[in-house]
Amino acid sequence: MREYLVNEELDHFRSGWISRREFLRRAGLIGVSAATATAMVRGVTPVKAQPTGPGTSPFHVDADDPRIQSETLWYSGNDGAQLYAYRAWPAGAPTNGSLPGVVVIHQNRGLVEHLMDVARRFAVAGYVAIAPDFVSRTGTPAVQLSSDEQVAAYATLSAVQSAYDALSALDELANHPSVDTNKLAATGYCAGGGVTWRLATLAPQLKAVAPFYGSNPPLSDVPNIKAAVFAVYGELDENVDAGIPTIEEALTGAGIAYQVKIYPNSRHAFHDDTGQAYNAATAPEAYTDTLSWFAQYLNLAPPQM
C-alpha cells in the first residue's frame, strides 16, 4: 500500500502539481523514509503542469437534491470491526427489491465528499449506492480528519483487508429492501480501483465492475472473477497503464467478459472533479460508459442521459 501511495505522489511531482519539498513531506506522512523518498525523486524532472484542474462534473448531485435520499451508517466488517459508510438511493424508491445496487470505492484519502457525490450520481441514475469508508477502520471516519491525517491513516491500511471491507459493504447493500441481489455492481477510483479488482475476485455475486485506473489484483485470483469488467485508464497514466497487457492476458485466459478503455489526454484520477487531474471531456464520458456497461450486464434499460 505504501509503495502504491508514494508512487502516486511521485507522479504528482513528475506532473508539476507539487514541489519536491511537498513530495518529501507527503512521503513522510505515508511512512516512507526520507532516504527512500529522496532516492525516488532524484533524477525526476517535473514537467509544466497541464491546464487541467478542479471543475464541476455535469453529473454533480448536491447532498440535498430532492431526487435522492441518503444516510450515513455503520456496518460490520468480516472481523467484527465497525466501518462507516454513506448510502444513497432514488427518492421514493420501491421496497420490492427491484433496483440495481453499486458499491462505490474511494481513493487514497478515505470517504470524502467527492465520493459521496459519486454515490448520489448513481442514485439519480436509479441505483442504491453504498460508499464505504475504509479509513474508519482506524477509529475515525475520513470526513472528521484533516487531509494530512487522511493520508497517514490510509497508509496504514491493507489492500487485502480493504477488499474484505468492500465485500462486507456489498453484503450491507444487498440487505437494502430496494435492492435486487441479482443486479449488483462495483466501481472504484485510484487506490479504490485496485480494491475493486480485488473485490471482484472475492464476490461471485457481482455482475459487473468498473475499476478506474486501479492496480492489478493478484493474477492467480483473476479466474475467480465472475463479473463483466470495464477497466478504465488514462492515456497519460504511465505507472498504472504499464499493467494493462498483463491484466488483459489474464482476463482473456480466464474467459472473462471485459473491455479496456484508455481515455485520451487523461491522467491518473481524471474522473475526480475536485482534483488537479480532472478532465472535463473524458470524465463524463467514462461515467456514462460505466452506466452503459452496467446496464448491459445487469439487464437494465440503456441509461438516459
Same domain for 167 and 28: no
How far is the C-alpha of 86 from the C-alpha of 120, rounded, in Å? 10
Residue 57 lies in a domain: no
Q: Are residues 14 and 81 in the same domain?
A: no
Give the pLDDT confidence score for residue 52 in this predicted structure: 55
pLDDT of residue 44: 84
CA distances for 36 relative to 28, 51, 198, 233, angstroms = 10, 31, 28, 28
Domain co-membership, 231 together with 267: yes
Calculate what percentage of the chain has a pLDDT beyond 90. Answer: 79
Higher pLDDT, 52 or 102: 102
CA 115 to chain centre: 8
Range of the structural domain that residue 23 is part of: 2-41
Residues 73 and 24 in one domain: no
Provide mean pLDDT across the span 18-40. 87
Please report whether residue 162 resides in a domain: yes
The verdict on 36 and 79 lying in the same domain is: no
**pLDDT at position 2:** 76
Per-residue model confidence as pLDDT tens digits over 164-176:
999 999 999 999 9
Residue 277 phi, psi (nearest 5): -90, 0
pTM recorded for the entire structure? 0.90
Residue 133 lies in a domain: yes
Q: Residues 94, 23: one domain?
A: no
Q: 186 and 111 in one domain?
A: yes
CA distance 257 to 94: 31
User: Phi first, then psi: what are they for 303, rounded to 5°?
Assistant: -65, 145
- Do 13 and 77 fall within a single domain? no
The answer to whether position 50 is within a domain reads no
Whether residues 123 and 13 share a domain: the answer is: no
Q: What is the DSSP letter of 55?
A: -
In 192-224, which positions are buried (b, 16+ CB within 10 angstroms) versus exposed (e)?
A: bbbbbbbbbbbbeebbbbbbbbbbbbeeebbee
> Over 90: is that where the pLDDT of 195 sits?
yes
The DSSP secondary-structure symbol of 215 reads P
Same structural domain, 79 and 17: no
Same domain, 132 and 9: no
Residue 59 lies in a domain: no
Looking at the fold, whether 20 and 95 belong to one and the same domain comes out as no
Count of domains observed in the chain: 2
CATH number at residue 272: 3.40.50.1820
Q: How many Cα atoms within 13 Å fall on the side-chain side of residue 93?
A: 27
CA–CA dist 53, 270 (Å, integer): 9
Does the structure show a pLDDT above 80 at 54?
A: no
Q: Which three cell numbers stand for residue 27?
A: 512521503
User: Residue 53 has what pLDDT?
Assistant: 60
| Residue 221 included in any domain | yes
